[in-house]
Amino acid sequence: MMRLKDIATALRAELVGDGELIVHAINHPAAAGPDDLALAMEAEALGALAESPARAAILPASSIVPSRLAGALHVEHPRYALATLTRLFAERPRLPAGIHPTAVIDPTAEIALPTAIGPFVQVGARAYIGPGATILGQVTVGAEARIGADALIYPGVRIGDRVRIGARVILHNNASLGADGFSFAIPEPGGRPPAGEPPISRIASLGTVVLGDDVEVGANSCIDRGTIEATTIGNGTKIDNLVMIGHNNKIGRSCLIAGRVGISGSCRIGDRVILAGGAGVADHVVIGDDPVILAAAQVGSSRIAPGAVVLGMPAVAKEKFFEQVRLQNRLKHLFADVAALKARLQPAGTEADGD
Amino acid sequence: MMRLKDIATALRAELVGDGELIVHAINHPAAAGPDDLALAMEAEALGALAESPARAAILPASSIVPSRLAGALHVEHPRYALATLTRLFAERPRLPAGIHPTAVIDPTAEIALPTAIGPFVQVGARAYIGPGATILGQVTVGAEARIGADALIYPGVRIGDRVRIGARVILHNNASLGADGFSFAIPEPGGRPPAGEPPISRIASLGTVVLGDDVEVGANSCIDRGTIEATTIGNGTKIDNLVMIGHNNKIGRSCLIAGRVGISGSCRIGDRVILAGGAGVADHVVIGDDPVILAAAQVGSSRIAPGAVVLGMPAVAKEKFFEQVRLQNRLKHLFADVAALKARLQPAGTEADGD
Amino acid sequence: MMRLKDIATALRAELVGDGELIVHAINHPAAAGPDDLALAMEAEALGALAESPARAAILPASSIVPSRLAGALHVEHPRYALATLTRLFAERPRLPAGIHPTAVIDPTAEIALPTAIGPFVQVGARAYIGPGATILGQVTVGAEARIGADALIYPGVRIGDRVRIGARVILHNNASLGADGFSFAIPEPGGRPPAGEPPISRIASLGTVVLGDDVEVGANSCIDRGTIEATTIGNGTKIDNLVMIGHNNKIGRSCLIAGRVGISGSCRIGDRVILAGGAGVADHVVIGDDPVILAAAQVGSSRIAPGAVVLGMPAVAKEKFFEQVRLQNRLKHLFADVAALKARLQPAGTEADGD
């Protein structure tokens, strides 16, 4: 429940009308009640506003305020406004302060105050949990792991031994940090292992995982530990659900890694890289700053230009990808044209070439 | 253990021979013992029946019953018969009635009877669990979540605050319902955030997840909550393992969504849609009723015709996809033909064009 | 902490210099301290050795030992040496012997000694856990499941009823073994179910999952139970994170299955098969021994030759795939050539063909 003028301040938005108006929730105009703030920043929602009982709305800059509204806010950047607004109304999952009596905390672990540790949480020897962290139920924190201040860790997250996590990190349900890397010595394809060696010889993972500040890891995602050094994720990088980040990767700051992406191993990925859903990066690939790897693209080499937008398998510049699609769509005609040309140049009575 | 005539009734199958015969289990003819019912509905299995000690078998309609059998059932629709038959012999995971003493149930939660709640389950404030639900060990049920009657929830499932689940829903190991959507305000590619804003500004998820009746969600799959409204899954839709369903999606009834599919966010998907393994749908895509999106297809636009069968990246009609593959397989010949035509038309002595 | 000569023995490596030298850890030359063993088996690391304070190093066979080193080891097979070496220095996750008092063990379960079972583990009726197994916290072991000797099971793993697991198996965080297969009876596309049947009729999974010895399953991966028989994984097969292995698959020995791979169902896969990241196999496909299915390849038929290396969608031989890419890259020129040929043969004054 907030006053319209306080929302205006938080959003740095222009207030029109009654700033004392109290709104209880935010909602699409079609779903909003009279006490809701209607979100009408996009054309479709703006249209729905005419039928809405809402008495307050958020509108694009310089749009006309319907006279039926008691108050309105004008915003310049709808997505950023939505970000601020949703955070104003969001509720952090409720967990009472303190350590739940069912939690199993090693006596050598250090838990800074304030803390909120839920049921069935397990914290290993010499682990450290920073002040203000919230650890919901059924989380595992390994020996000597470190969790930064104000982290929010959802149920079922597994944090391996020695994993280090920055401040304000959010880890979603059942994410895995610090499983062993998928690393084996095997013979060359078709060859045999050296004498005395098994066909598949396991390379153990002595390294760890290090997450910077403000990193977010989605549900059921996995970040494996490095072989000798750490797998690292830079400050502010956000990772969606079901993402696989293999061992030894070094990923930069403020990247966005969408659902089902896979980054094989030993890659170096720059800052502000965007990887869309299902994209894949082969091992040992180096990617610079600012490219956008579009959905399902497969990056097999280190030749992505900084800031490039790529697509396809193998990934190429987006324009080239769609040019190829257009050419392929005309292939049938090209075959027909060539057949016609051949027929025309074919001396009468000779046999056609097979193709 | 069942009598053959009772199985015949359940399957609406024609019974031949001794209906009083007792069978203990169902099995492939090659693996069946004398007390098993041999599954011989397919040609390969029918062949193996000759060598089987089984005395009872299920056969395709109008096939000849080997004289060695004491009883047999004729069925019209083998897959539907298999469905009924496996359900007759399936054992629901065993869990004693009542609430396990280790479970942590908020006193304001409402648990309808009968109930079976396993070890280390956590149920939040004002949550509701319907009658006949079975919640196996280590499940998390968030505050104000609602679980319908007769739901079956496997270990490690995470159900977030306010998530609503219909009757007879089955949720498999470690599925995540109600993690936050992957939603951020970011600058245009190559641009900068507005003054005073961080490069990546988190959009919180105030919405929830709503699953209809008879929905099934596979192991380690994720369904994220909506930003403002709910992410919804219609009645009877079945979702396989490791599926990613992003925020704000509205998915229809009786869909089949196979393993590793990703549906980005804010999509509207009709009824009876089939998405095969690894398929992907970009955000804001609208898909009507009845299409089949084949394995690994990437749907980036809303132009899929109702009932279409599509394949490829970008997804096109299956026939077109395979036509393109055939044309591409002949490209080498086409290049050779064109080179030959050029050579023939090239006046002697001039230089060849580079390409 | 180890003596250099003991490491030499374990690696069957040639020792140069002081075998009594004690090393505390292994490290890249750039990160190594004076008590570390520097790993300089690759050219880049060998270069960094010049600046390293390390007094001992591992070098490729027959490379020159810098005079600054007190001791060195020469190895023939760097990856196999790394495997042995990392295992020498690896620490198995620490868990005290015995059964943690919070674990819930059914009285009919059989736990062989020695054992180490962590907090909040749940073991079902008549389950068997072999000697030397380590089961970290929050694991679920179903009724009648069997776990082999010396298995190592990480937190959050779900092992369903009747699942059987071999000796020395390693299961990583939150893996799911034995969820139900994704199997339904449905009408033909566009058709209707038989009279009296629902549109989607669930086929229950009566089978189980059987893992051979020395199998490894990555974090958040899923192996579903078979419909009637077992889904089986052969000895020594290693499976990475977020892998989906559907019901009824029979997978051979010593396979390597990388992250995000999906194997739909009812496939038969040979020995020593390599599936790279994100590859997919359609259902009922048969694959022989020794092929390499490269990243993101989609195998839709059983026509992969033994030992083949395939790529693309649909998967073809790697050489053919890259030839197709090269031809496609020249398509624009081909269209131009054909247009030029048509223009040249076009009698002056006639209209051009549309294409």
Asked which of B29, B56, B89 is the last residue of a domain, the reply is B89
Asked which of C89, C106, C123 is the last residue of a domain, the reply is C89
CA angle A321, A327, A329 (to 5 degrees): 105
The confidence band for C62, taking pLDDT boundaries of 50, 70 and 90, is: confident
In DSSP terms, which residues pair with B165 in a beta bridge?
B147, B211
Predicted pLDDT of residue B196: 85
The confidence band for C347, taking pLDDT boundaries of 50, 70 and 90, is: low
B contacts of A310 (beta carbons < 8 Å): none
The chain B residue lying nearest C229, using CA atoms, is B27
The full length of chain A comes to: 355
The confidence band for C92, taking pLDDT boundaries of 50, 70 and 90, is: confident
What span, in angstroms and rounded, lies between the C-alpha atoms of C280 and C335?
34
Question: Is residue A307 one of the residues assigned to a domain?
Answer: no
State whether A274 and B344 contact (CB < 8 Å): no
What span, in angstroms and rounded, lies between the C-alpha atoms of C171 and B131?
35
User: What residue type is assigned to position A145 of the chain?
Assistant: A
**What phi and psi, each to the nearest 5 degrees, are found at residue A342?**
-60, -45
State whether B259 and C174 contact (CB < 8 Å): no
What span, in angstroms and rounded, lies between the C-alpha atoms of C156 and C77?
36
In DSSP terms, which residues pair with B284 in a beta bridge?
none
Per residue in C101-159, pLDDT (tens digit) is 999 999 999 999 999 999 999 999 999 999 999 999 999 999 999 999 999 999 999 99
User: What residue type is assigned to position B141 of the chain?
Assistant: V
Q: Residue B288 in contact with residue B272, Cβ under 8 Å? A: no
Predicted pLDDT of residue A352: 47
Predicted pLDDT of residue C354: 45
C23-31 CB contacts, 8 Å cutoff, 24+ apart: C23/C56, C25/A206, C25/C89, C26/A206, C26/A228, C26/C58, C26/C85, C26/C86, C26/C89, C27/A228, C27/C54, C28/A228, C28/A229, C29/C54, C29/C57, C31/A228, C31/A229
Indicate if the pLDDT at residue B355 is higher than 90: no
CA-closest candidate to residue A220, choices C20, B241, B263 = B241
C contacts of B342 (beta carbons < 8 Å): 337, 341
Mean pLDDT of chain C: 94
Residue among C199, C244, C344 minimizing CB distance to B242: C244
Residue among B161, B200, B220 minimizing CB distance to A93: B161
Question: Is residue C120 one of the residues assigned to a domain?
Answer: no
- The distance of Cα C229 from the centroid of its chain, to the nearest Å, equals 24
Domains of chain B: total: 2
Predicted pLDDT of residue B254: 96
Q: What is the mean pLDDT of residues B39-58?
A: 93
Distance from B71 to chain A by nearest Cα, in Å? Answer: 49
Residue among C89, C137, C174 minimizing CB distance to A206: C89
State whether B201 and A83 contact (CB < 8 Å): yes
Indicate if the pLDDT at residue C168 is higher than 70: yes
The chain C residue lying nearest A314, using CA atoms, is C325
The chain C residue lying nearest A202, using CA atoms, is C83
**Chains contacting B (3+ CB pairs below 8 angstroms):** A, C
Among C2, C139, C169, C240, the strongest candidate for a mutation testing the A interface, having the largest count of A CBs within 10 A, is C240
Question: Is residue C75 one of the residues assigned to a domain?
Answer: yes
Check B172, B247, B284, B333 and give the catalytic one: B247
Q: Residue A297 in contact with residue A279, Cβ under 8 Å? A: yes
The confidence band for C355, taking pLDDT boundaries of 50, 70 and 90, is: very low
Indicate if the pLDDT at residue C337 is higher than 50: yes
CA-closest candidate to residue A278, choices B68, C132, B243 = B243
Question: Is residue B45 one of the residues assigned to a domain?
Answer: yes
What span, in angstroms and rounded, lies between the C-alpha atoms of B220 and C222?
8
Among B99, B235, B240, B330, the strongest candidate for a mutation testing the C interface, having the largest count of C CBs within 10 A, is B240
Question: Is residue A55 one of the residues assigned to a domain?
Answer: yes
The chain B residue lying nearest C181, using CA atoms, is B240
Predicted pLDDT of residue C192: 86
B239-243, B305-309, C55-59, C187-191: range with lowest mean pLDDT: C187-191
Distance from B184 to chain C by nearest Cα, in Å? Answer: 25
A contacts of C274 (beta carbons < 8 Å): 189
State whether A189 and C256 contact (CB < 8 Å): no
Q: Which domain holds residue A17?
A: 2-89
Q: Please state whether B293 falls in left (phi above 0), alpha (psi between -120 and 50) or beta.
A: beta
Among A200, A225, A245, A346, the strongest candidate for a mutation testing the C interface, having the largest count of C CBs within 10 A, is A200
A contacts of C75 (beta carbons < 8 Å): none
Residue among B93, B172, B174 minimizing CB distance to C161: B93
What span, in angstroms and rounded, lies between the C-alpha atoms of C159 and C143?
9
How would you classify the pairing of strands B238-239 and A36-39? unpaired
User: Strand, helix or coil at B44?
Assistant: helix
Question: Is residue B190 one of the residues assigned to a domain?
Answer: no
Q: Residue C57 in contact with residue C69, Cβ under 8 Å? A: yes
Residue among A184, A280, A331 minimizing CB distance to C277: A280
**How many CB pairs (< 8 A) connect A and C?**
209
The confidence band for B346, taking pLDDT boundaries of 50, 70 and 90, is: confident
pLDDT tens string, chain A, 355 residues long: the values are 899 999 999 999 999 999 999 999 999 999 999 999 999 998 889 999 999 999 999 999 989 999 999 999 999 999 999 999 999 999 888 899 999 999 999 999 999 999 999 999 999 999 999 999 999 999 999 999 999 999 999 999 999 999 999 999 999 999 999 999 999 999 887 788 988 888 899 999 999 999 999 999 999 999 999 999 999 999 999 999 999 999 999 999 999 999 999 999 999 999 999 999 999 999 999 999 999 999 999 999 999 998 899 999 999 999 999 999 999 999 999 999 999 999 988 765 555 444 4
State whether B154 and C158 contact (CB < 8 Å): yes
How would you classify the pairing of strands C170-171 and C152-153? parallel
Cis check: omega of the bond before B114, within 30 degrees of 0: yes
Q: Residue A8 in contact with residue A73, Cβ under 8 Å? A: yes
What span, in angstroms and rounded, lies between the C-alpha atoms of C97 and C117?
7
Q: What is the mean pLDDT of residues B247-271?
A: 98
Q: What is the dihedral of CA A239, A245, A249, A251, to 10 degrees?
A: -10
In the structure, how many helices (H) and strands (E) does chain C have? 5, 40
The confidence band for B352, taking pLDDT boundaries of 50, 70 and 90, is: very low
Residue A118 CA: distances (Å) to CA of A103, A133, A137, B48, C135: 7, 11, 4, 56, 22
Question: Is residue B77 one of the residues assigned to a domain?
Answer: yes
Give the domain CATH number at B64: 3.40.1390.10
State whether A173 and B160 contact (CB < 8 Å): yes
What span, in angstroms and rounded, lies between the C-alpha atoms of B116 and B137?
10
Q: Residue B123 in contact with residue B111, Cβ under 8 Å? A: yes
C contacts of B260 (beta carbons < 8 Å): 244, 260, 262, 280
User: Strand, helix or coil at A307?
Assistant: coil
Question: Is residue A25 one of the residues assigned to a domain?
Answer: yes
Asked which of C89, C124, C145 is the last residue of a domain, the reply is C89
Residue among C206, C228, C242 minimizing CB distance to B242: C242
Active-site residue list of C: 247
Distance from C190 to chain B by nearest Cα, in Å? Answer: 7
